[in-house]
Amino acid sequence: MTQEMSAKELIARRIALELQDGDAVNLGIGLPTLVANYLPLGVNLLLQSENGFLGIGPVPAEIIPVGQPRMVNAGGNPCTILPGGSTFDVSTSFALMRGGHLDACVLGGLQVAENGDLANWMVPGKNVPGMGGAMDLAVGAKKVIVAMEHTNNGEKKILKKCTLPLTAKGKVAVLVTEKALFRFYDGNMVLEEYAPGVSVDEIRAETEAAFTVSDNLKEMVISQVGL
C-alpha cells in the first residue's frame, strides 16, 4: 500500500475490478460505497439500495433544503436516480435481494472465518439499529464480496471461527483487505493476491484463519481511475 493511499481506498479500488458492466449490485454502507468511485471506464452498474431503488445515482450536486422532498439511500444520505432507474416498496426490494436477482453485493465485515462465514451486524453489548438487509444480501446475492481492514487495532479479524453473531454461514466468495485478496472455494480459503509491499509471512502473522497459497499468487492490481 502506498503512503498516499488509505487502506479503505486501496480495498475499494481492488474491488472495483471484481464487478462487470451491467451487473446489478448492492454496495453496503460505509467502505463498500467507495467502490462506485473507482469503476473502470465502460463499467456501468445498476446499483440497488435496500430501501427501494434500482439505478441509484450519485450524491446530488445541490444541497436540498430541509423540508423539501428528497431521496435518500439506505444509509440515509441524499442520492439521485439515473435515467432508466426505478423505485419500489421495501418488500419488493427485499424480494429482489432474497430471490437471487443481484449479481453481487459488497459488504463490510467485522469478522470472516476460514470457511467463508461472515459476522458484520453487531457486537454484543453495543447498541445497534438492527442488521438491516445484511443477512438477506449475504444469502441472496450471487457473489458476496467482503471489504474490510485486515485487523482492528492489532486484533485479528480473519479467524478460524467467528466469535461474533453470524450474518451468514459459508457465503463469502471474495475477501479484500489492504493486505490481501482471498477467494473461497467449497469452504477453503485461498490467498490469491498480496498488496504491494506486503509479504505472505506478514499476511500469515496477521491472519488467524488457515489458508492455502494459490499456485498463481500475484501482486494485487487496483483500479487506476483518478490516479
d(CA 7, CA 114): 22
Q: Catalytic site residue 114?
A: no
Contact 148, 31 (CB under 8 A): yes
The cell for 46 is: 445498476
d(CA 75, CA 122): 16
Radius of gyration of the chain (CA): 18
- Which of 4, 18, 50, 202 is the catalytic position? 50
Contact 112, 118 (CB under 8 A): yes
* Sequence letter at residue 17: L
Q: Cite the active site residues.
A: 50
